[in-house]
Amino acid sequence: MTLPYDPHPTDTTPEPTPAKAAAPARAGLAAPVTKRDAGSGRVPGRSPQGAEHSAASPSDAPSRSASEETPRRPPEPGTPRKARPREPRRREPRRRKALLLTAALVAALVVLALVSAGIGAYRIPLGDVLASVQHRAGLGGAPLDRVGESVLWNVRLPRVVLALLVGASLGCAGALMQGVFGNPLAEPGVIGISAGAAVGAVAAISLGLSFFGNWTITVCAFVAGLITVSAVYLLSRNGGRTEVVTLILTGIAVNAFAGALIGLFVFFADSGQVNQITFWQLGSLAQATWPKVLAVLPCAFAGLIVAPFYARRLDLLALGERPARHLGIDVERLRLALVLVVALLTAAAVAGVITFIGLLVPHLLRMANGPGHRFLVPGSALAGAVVLVAGDLAARTIAQPAELPLGVLTALIGSPFFFWLLRRTRRKQGGWA
Reported as a single tens digit per residue, the pLDDT across 19-56 is 444 444 444 444 444 444 444 444 444 444 444 444 44
- Return all residues near 292 (Cβ < 8 A) that are at least 6 apart: 158, 162, 214, 350
What was the pLDDT predicted at 73?
57
Cα gap 166→158, rounded to integer Å: 12
* Residues 339, 326 contacting (CB under 8 angstroms): no
Instruction: Domain ranges for the chain, please list them.
Output: 96-426
96-426 is classed CATH 1.10.3470.10 = yes
d(CA 32, CA 87): 53
- Exposure class string for 411-426: b at 16+ Cβ within 10 A, else e: beebeeebeebeeeee
Residue 312: phi, psi to the nearest 5?
A: -65, -40
- Confidence (pTM): 0.72
First-to-final CA distance of the chain: 93
What is the pLDDT at residue 211?
Answer: 85
Do the beta carbons of residue 255 and residue 188 sit within 8 Å?
no
User: Which amino acid would we find at residue 348?
Assistant: A
**pLDDT value at residue 385:** 95
Q: Which residues of the chain have pLDDT under 70?
A: 1-91, 239-244, 350, 429-433
Helix (H) or strand (E) holding 241: strand 241-242
Rounded to whole angstroms, the Cα distance separating 25 from 20 reads: 9
